[in-house]
Structure 1
Amino acid sequence: MGNRGPTHQVSSFTRKAVYPQLCTLTSSGKAPVARFSPTYTGKGHNIDTMDGNRDDASGISRSKRSLASVNTPAGSGNDELDKTAQPDAASNKVGPEDAAKQERENADPENIKAISTVDEAEGDYDVRKENHFGEAAIIDNAKDLVTHVLHVDDEPSDSPWTFRALFIGNVYRLCLILCVFASVLQEIFYFKPQIILVSVVFLTVIGYILALPFQLIPRPGGDGVVSRTCRFLNPADFNSKEHTFMVIMASAGSTSAVATQILAAQRLYYGSSPDKGAAIFLVIASQFLSYGIAGLLRSVLVQPAKMLWPVNIPVNTLLETLHRDRSETRKRLRCFTAVFGGAFLWEIVPLWIAPIFQGVAVPCLARRDSLVFTNLFGGAQNNEGLGFLGLCFDWNYIAGLSSPLWYPLCTLVNSMTGYLLCIVLFMGVYYGNVWDSINFPFLSQLLYHGSSNATNFVQYNLTAILNSDNTINSTLVAEQGLPYLSGSYVIRLITTNVGITAAIVHLLLWNYNDLKDGWAFLRPSRLQRLFQVSTYFSWRGHDSGEEAARRQRVVDDKDLDPHYKLMMQNGYVEVPNWWYGLVLVLSFVIGITTLYKIGSTLPWWAFIVSNLFSALFILFFGAQMGLTGFQFDQQPVILMLGGYLLPGKPLANMYFTVFGFNGIQQGQWLLRDLKLAQLAHLPPKATFTAQMLGTVVGAIMDYVVMVSIVDNQTPALLSINGTNVWSGQNVQAYSTLAVAWSMAKDMFSVGSRYQWVTLSFLVGFLAPLPFWLAWKLTGRDVFRDVDTSIVVWNCALLYVGVNSSLLMYFCLGIFAQWYLRRFHPAAFIKYNYLVSAALDGGTQVMVFLLSFAVLGASGREHKFPTYALNNGGTNNDVNIDYCMFNTASAN
């Protein structure tokens, strides 16, 4: 990125603090000095020393067996594969020069080579030198993390392309089962009071459990029918690549498509829904469009080492723990099993038996007759309050969006700063009666009529202002008056808009060189390739000299992920870009056809514009998520843009958002899974296949589950508070914004009631500049570590949901990423991400079981008897944390 200011010389296991996602804030603003393990001898580059996984009598490690020549494709069946990887006896001897070199390094730790250093004199660079698994060092950047926490080795003969995986239906059926399971669970969580994402770790655990019975099928010798059939069904041990294939397919199906939001809104608020077949094709097209865009950007957003995608580290850690040699992972497996079992058994307590553990509000227990205390300290119920000083003992809510244990420290500090500012802002706006806020709920995502007051909240009648073609009737709006929003929701809109533009400016200032290849396709030389035959038939020449040279350039590139370089060194074949281009074109055609088929009122030109916004935002916000782990919610911004482009057409605006916002969100998740596959060394074409299949299955299941829940839980979904089990908050917010932004000219333009919602875009462009200039002038890293987009977005973090979990979230995250990572690096490397995986997995397995068994997901709810720790919540017009209940919200 050109001149980024002063850098610091560090020893071999630290880095220049140029990666804001993994920085360590110190009083001096400088990167910390690494603490080495007492047993370190300077032999970190000896693969045999690090890798205890020896898989044959000769003691040759898997990492040494894994490497073939650059031009040998993985899985080719070449008998020379192992021979080229096995060293002879002479190769293991230490020559005089090497011995002298080791002696010097042992005597002077400062002479130890940096992790990414390449010794030019040694010839072709071997990616295995970057394997530092288990070495005790303070992890200070993305490259250190993926080479210390994960093994940089591979077994190319482990392939997901087995008969059982694709044809027989053994693992393939498991993939379908897991995919259906994941899509059903995520759609259920979409209608929960707290926004919860199905953890990929959870899918990893379930996939492993489902696959274990097939491991019991014997593989006898002989040529008999039974023997051949058994070997056919279970040809080899269940390996990590088959497992990763299953997980990625399930992950692709586990995303609750934005298209289901508009379909749910139509059923709840408009009394109509499109044809079932058209609805399913709508969901599929909206998902695949983003896949095409994101796939074409993978060289910018996935392959570089800096693009860490930290959300994947627990998953890849778990995959290695489950599939590497048991002698190496025994302690880690015991740890995982214990934590998983504990989380599984405990979750039944806060979720069903004693819901008060979802949020213990000590101040409310001391004073139960104050709405001020409810608004500030309450938070165990949906939209109850801010949950300040609340104690949450339910991992389901603590890690509802993501586990705090894997979030980089800088992201946590920026987020916590915004969280504290959020409390001040919300209380100040509400009790300062800004925008007449005191006449409306403290937290709400609905539109309200001007006749509302503090004791009687009157919802705005949306259907009363619509014509028969679902367009807004200005005469009817004048009769009823413009709608009002709660003050907290206005703040949310403002901070989101500021954050959007601030993120773009922040990335351009700090990461321009990382992103510039995202628009490199506009170069004339790149455009010429569209007309070259080799572009579309590239697989025919992947063993050519040109391809070999390309692979070597990848291996020699210090900026690329070592795991990706290892895959290229081992001969893996990349997916041609035209595959993703074809997905983009086909989904575009299906999408625009479906829109006209179902009468969406969205014109063709607006459909194109929505996809252009999606492509632009995937580049910037994909980079932000890859660097920091933070995922922005761009939905309000896309709705606003649609409102100005399509005034008076809320239905068209919602469809505009389906392809605009859903494209961004789905694109980020595709990129996340591409990185997961890269760290697991899954062949790229297997990854592509898994994502395509999973998306189709998930789209169908999303629609089926949405229809079932909406038809059976309509009263709860239409309520302001819902229940502690079901909530329509997401659909409410979606419909609210669609209608509100369709009246954008009257509600949000300069001079109107909520003018700062629009003006906030301009503020966002300026927000990062003071910190960037301060860093330029002083060179202090603390200014570089401030990400204004994350801080500002979190200034409205508490606008919805169960908020009692946030204090515990930040405390646990900072404990892991600051205290453990800095003062106990060995424990951090070995167990932090594994514990995160175990907590996610155990908790979500129990949540799934309880959702269907007792919480009403199957259509019938079984309530636990009321007593002190379970007072019934909103069903009895009380809050489960005993804060004062606002009766106006129950109307």
Structure 2
Amino acid sequence: MRDITLPQRDTSVEEYDLLDEKIVSGKDTGGYQSSSDGDDYTVFKNENGEEDSPYEVVRMTVSNKDDTTLPTLTVRFWIMAVPITIALAFVKQLFWFRTVPVGISGVIIQLITLPIGKFLARVLPDKDVGIGRFRFSLNPGPFSVKEHLLVNVCTSASGVAYAIDIIVIKRVFYQQDTPLLGSILLTLTTQCIGYGLAGVCYKYLVRPAAMIWPMCLIDVAVYRTFHSQEDQSGGRMTRWRFFTMVTAISGIYYFIPGFLFRMVSTVSVLCLTMPNSKVASQLGSFTKGLGLLSFSLDWNTLTSVLGSPMGTPFWAIANIFAGFVLFVWVITPYGYFNNIWDAQNYSIFGSALYSQNGSSYPVLALLDKKTLALDELQYAKYGPPRMSFMFAIGYGIGFAALSSLLVHIALHYGPDIMRRFRESRASGDDVHARLMDHYPTVPQWWYLTILGLSTALSIFTCEYYGTDLPWWGLLLAVAMAALFTLPIGILTAVASIGPGLNIITEFVIGFIMPGKPIANVTFKTYGYIGMTHAVSLLQDLKLGHYMKIPPRHMFIVQLVGTVISAIVNVLVASMMFQIMPDVCHDDNEEWYCRGAHVFFSASVIWGVVGPNRMFGSEGYYSALMWFFLIGAVLPIPFWLLARRYPKSIAKYINIPVVLASVGGIPPDYTGTFPSWFAVGVLFQYYLLRYRPAWSARYSYILSAGLDAGIAITSIVIFLAFTNTGVKLRWWGNTPDCPLLENKL
């Protein structure tokens, strides 16, 4: 084994304090002090005198050494990754159609692939094989942590492609079929086009030490736990034993919220104490109201919206909860009970569309059945759709989140981004960046080839397969994805949260091409998912950066997993249409497809009716346009206060995080936020401050163990009970606040 270490240089305590304060406030220092010529820098040394990350949260989790002899892209990888990715893509797509999907977390895949990898390391022959001028070993030694990570990066790409929503709503709601080849091309291109955008951002979002990507640290902790040999002296429990204990307890406990007593997942105190009060239900419902005095005793529900609070820094947790309180507990009840936009004609929570009298909005009656264009006579008869006040104001918050993000990034990161554009050398990088210099980087032409090929195939798909989106619309979508990848990537890298482009992409193409629902959702998918996958690849590259995986191997693995899963997604969706003609229909309780219904509602708002008739000068919700200006202005006073009073609380206020935190409400449940915040305060403030040794050793492992136990038990419950039609009917499994009835 060959460990790489780097030369040491001293860093003063004052310099370290400055660096640590910068990351707490979400500001990028790059992890070093640079001179005017860019050649001189200082590095941080840990208590052992070794060069290390300047950020404590990284030092606690990530090794500052690298073993370059560990195998990575091996035969074992291909034997494991390809069939597991196919199986996962099949299962996830199948479960996506269910009214209550069954999640398969990354931790359960890590648990499954570890023994398989070790088994292959024992049974495969230790033999070199040659193909042409290439030679490789069938069994290059023990199953390594780097192989393990690559297998799971490949399988993690097996999620449900966003483009499946387009295929589903075209068939189910608009009664139009997309040919199989067209569906595959649409799905492949929307999934891959963002990878071409990631190359430009690598040196801004992966190499800098201050781009921490907190969620990556949980994965790093799990992989090191699985593959490291720990010293058991001193009476401390090993991380592996702690992980297995938590997994077992979590799995056993999850039978309670998962099957036996589901009410503990969504406890609504006001509904329990005042079951006949509609106002109490509206204020207190976990799933259908504002979540006041609601809480969850189910880790799966608690992390369903924002992920694990143990992977989010405390300053971001505080900003997220502030945004939730302002939006859900202040603005929404004020607007609803003052009947703004006739709010009391509709539900207080939900994403359904209504006619003015509160009945369901008759979308198909407004459309020409052949062209799907808006029938103006029918539209004049029914008028524009109405929304719940929360749904409407949520769009305004989304407008503000995007404009605030651009201003925030310009104010806080603008000078550093410009400096990095001027620098062509990687001087002043931290220990992890310089260790990664031992591996060849991904050539820019790889990224450009993926971008060019995906763009060309996208244009062909849009023009030939009836999406109504012209070639210039596709190029505009790609341009929007490219514009937002860097700012949203920065916010995700420092705060674990960032706004999506779904609203702004719908907004732009809705103004340009009103009355074209399929063109609208296609444009949204290319723009929104293009950016999302660029950020996803960058996050995986950062994980590989921490684990010292060759960047080229990370790129190949992510691309392979994405291509496989996209094809499988389409084939499974086609199969479902054949064997279950009523899938996703309103009367199908088991296979309702909640996500597709929300996607369809958005296609009506932005595509059929159009933003001008909803939010523009003609629109009932035109006041929401002011949120663009509000979002752009809000970051400025807090930035000025932080500069004037650098020790004040203003330096921790991050307006894009405050606004982006509530971007999924509805359909995200409001009741998850208070419990998520309480757990975040416990682990990311109290334990990190007063029990730092325990926190450093066990916090991330606890999060992963809870996920693993739930994932295992979820599969058991599905196979043993749900799939066989076994239901436990009693008071503890009744719906949350049954007095409220609304579609989400």
Q: State yes or no: 1:588 paired with 2:455.
A: yes
Distance in 1 between the 2:410 and 2:560 partners? 36
Distance in 2 between the 1:197 and 1:837 partners? 15
- The corresponding residue for 2:532 is 665
> Which one of 197, 207, 216 corresponds to residue 303 of structure 1?
207
Distance in 2 between the 1:205 and 1:267 partners? 38
Q: Is the 8 A contact 1:201 1:314 kept in 2?
A: no
SS of 1:238's equivalent in the other structure is coil
- The corresponding residue for 1:30 is none
Q: How does 1:378-457 map to 2 (within 5 A)?
A: 378-379=285-286, 381=287, 384-401=288-305, 402-421=307-326, 422-452=328-358, 457=359
Identity of aligned residues (%): 25
Distance in 1 between the 2:417 and 2:94 partners? 36
- The corresponding residue for 1:240 is 145
- Deviation of 1:151 after TM superposition, in Å, equals 0.8
- Deviation of 1:862 after TM superposition, in Å, equals 1.8
Residue by residue, what CA displacement relative to the aligned partner does 1:552-575 show, whole Å, maximum 9, x if unpaired? x64xx33x342221121xx21111
> Which one of 729, 735, 741 corresponds to residue 866 of structure 1?
729
- Deviation of 1:132 after TM superposition, in Å, equals 6.3
Q: Is the 8 A contact 2:33 2:41 kept in 1?
A: no
> What amino acid does structure 1 have at the position aligned with 2:22?
V
Q: State yes or no: 1:482 paired with 2:384.
A: yes
- The corresponding residue for 1:376 is 283
- The corresponding residue for 2:133 is none
Residue by residue, what CA displacement relative to the aligned partner does 1:649-707 show, whole Å, maximum 9, x if unpaired? 11111111110111111111111111111111111111111011101111022223444
Residue by residue, what CA displacement relative to the aligned partner does 1:793-833 show, whole Å, maximum 9, x if unpaired? 33565422333332211111111110111111111111111
- The corresponding residue for 1:821 is 688
> What amino acid does structure 2 have at the position aligned with 1:321?
T
SS of 1:582's equivalent in the other structure is helix
Distance in 2 between the 1:854 and 1:126 partners? 60
Distance in 2 between the 1:259 and 1:142 partners? 41
Residue by residue, what CA displacement relative to the aligned partner does 1:716-755 show, whole Å, maximum 9, x if unpaired? 84549x86x7653322222222221232222211353101
Residue by residue, what CA displacement relative to the aligned partner does 1:163-193 show, whole Å, maximum 9, x if unpaired? x23xxxxx32311233234434544565566
- The corresponding residue for 2:596 is 731
> What amino acid does structure 2 have at the position aligned with 1:153?
K
Q: State yes or no: 1:217 paired with 2:80.
A: no
Q: Which moved more, 1:262-271 or 1:839-848?
A: 839-848
Q: Is the 8 A contact 1:131 1:148 kept in 2?
A: no
Residue by residue, what CA displacement relative to the aligned partner does 1:600-650 show, whole Å, maximum 9, x if unpaired? 110111110010000011111011101211132321221111101111111
Distance in 2 between the 1:499 and 1:450 partners? 29
1:517–1:779: structure 2 CA closer, same or farther, 3 Å change rule? closer
SS of 1:842's equivalent in the other structure is helix
Q: How does 1:245-256 map to 2 (within 5 A)?
A: 245-254=150-159, 256=160
Residue by residue, what CA displacement relative to the aligned partner does 1:218-248 show, whole Å, maximum 9, x if unpaired? 878x99xxxxxxx965441100111111011
Q: Is the 8 A contact 2:182 2:461 kept in 1?
A: yes
Residue by residue, what CA displacement relative to the aligned partner does 1:293-314 show, whole Å, maximum 9, x if unpaired? 0133111111111111111101
Distance in 2 between the 1:363 and 1:833 partners? 34
SS of 1:253's equivalent in the other structure is coil
- Deviation of 1:430 after TM superposition, in Å, equals 1.8
Distance in 1 between the 2:364 and 2:585 partners? 13
> Which one of 58, 69, 86 corresponds to residue 157 of structure 1?
69
Distance in 2 between the 1:386 and 1:182 partners? 35
Distance in 2 between the 1:601 and 1:803 partners? 37
Residue by residue, what CA displacement relative to the aligned partner does 1:23-47 show, whole Å, maximum 9, x if unpaired? 9xxxxxxxxxxxxxxxxxxxxxxxx
Distance in 1 between the 2:721 and 2:375 partners? 45
Distance in 2 between the 1:12 and 1:653 partners? 49
- Deviation of 1:427 after TM superposition, in Å, equals 1.8
- Deviation of 1:841 after TM superposition, in Å, equals 2.2
- The corresponding residue for 2:253 is 346
- Deviation of 1:349 after TM superposition, in Å, equals 2.1
Residue by residue, what CA displacement relative to the aligned partner does 1:93-142 show, whole Å, maximum 9, x if unpaired? xxxxxxxxxxxxxxxxxxxxxx9699xxxx99998x7566999xxx9x97
- The corresponding residue for 1:615 is 482
Q: Structure 2 length normalisation: TM-score?
A: 0.88
- The corresponding residue for 2:22 is 18
Distance in 1 between the 2:54 and 2:259 partners? 40
Distance in 1 between the 2:570 and 2:382 partners? 35
SS of 1:18's equivalent in the other structure is helix
> What amino acid does structure 2 have at the position aligned with 1:244?
L
Q: Is the 8 A contact 2:495 2:657 kept in 1?
A: no
Q: State yes or no: 1:695 paired with 2:562.
A: yes
Q: How does 1:179-578 map to 2 (within 5 A)?
A: 179-184=85-90, 186-187=92-93, 190-191=96-97, 199-217=105-123, 234-254=139-159, 256-327=160-231, 331-379=238-286, 381=287, 384-401=288-305, 402-421=307-326, 422-452=328-358, 457-516=359-418, 520=421, 554=426, 557-558=427-428, 560-568=429-437, 571-578=438-445
> Which one of 67, 76, 80 corresponds to residue 174 of structure 1?
80
Distance in 1 between the 2:45 and 2:517 partners? 54
SS of 1:250's equivalent in the other structure is helix
Distance in 1 between the 2:171 and 2:581 partners? 9
Q: Is the 8 A contact 1:358 1:804 kept in 2?
A: no
> What amino acid does structure 1 have at the position aligned with 2:323?
G
Distance in 1 between the 2:140 and 2:272 partners? 61
- The corresponding residue for 2:6 is none
Structure 2: stretches of 5+ with no match in the other structure: 1-11, 129-135
- Deviation of 1:834 after TM superposition, in Å, equals 1.4
Q: Is the 8 A contact 1:200 1:315 kept in 2?
A: no
> What amino acid does structure 1 have at the position aligned with 2:433?
Y
Q: Is the 8 A contact 2:118 2:142 kept in 1?
A: no
Q: Is the 8 A contact 1:357 1:394 kept in 2?
A: yes
Residue by residue, what CA displacement relative to the aligned partner does 1:233-289 show, whole Å, maximum 9, x if unpaired? 5441100111111011112233x3221111111122112221112101111111111
Q: Structure 1 length normalisation: TM-score?
A: 0.74
1:130–1:175: structure 2 CA closer, same or farther, 3 Å change rule? farther
Distance in 2 between the 1:750 and 1:183 partners? 44
> Which one of 497, 510, 515 corresponds to residue 643 of structure 1?
510
> What amino acid does structure 2 have at the position aligned with 1:678?
H
> What amino acid does structure 1 have at the position aligned with 2:484?
F
SS of 1:297's equivalent in the other structure is helix
- The corresponding residue for 2:59 is 147
Q: Is the 8 A contact 2:576 2:583 kept in 1?
A: no
- Deviation of 1:195 after TM superposition, in Å, equals 8.9
1:20–1:117: structure 2 CA closer, same or farther, 3 Å change rule? closer
Residue by residue, what CA displacement relative to the aligned partner does 1:198-221 show, whole Å, maximum 9, x if unpaired? 64444323322432432443878x
1:592–1:218: structure 2 CA closer, same or farther, 3 Å change rule? closer
> What amino acid does structure 2 have at the position aligned with 1:277?
L
1:243–1:764: structure 2 CA closer, same or farther, 3 Å change rule? same
> What amino acid does structure 1 have at the position aligned with 2:65?
D
Residue by residue, what CA displacement relative to the aligned partner does 1:390-446 show, whole Å, maximum 9, x if unpaired? 221221111114111110111100001111122222222222211111111222212
Q: Which moved more, 1:359-368 or 1:671-680?
A: 359-368
> What amino acid does structure 1 have at the position aligned with 2:322?
T
Q: Which moved more, 1:580-589 or 1:361-370?
A: 361-370
> What amino acid does structure 2 have at the position aligned with 1:345?
I
- The corresponding residue for 1:64 is none
**RMSD between aligned residues:** 3.2
Q: Which moved more, 1:323-332 or 1:799-808?
A: 323-332
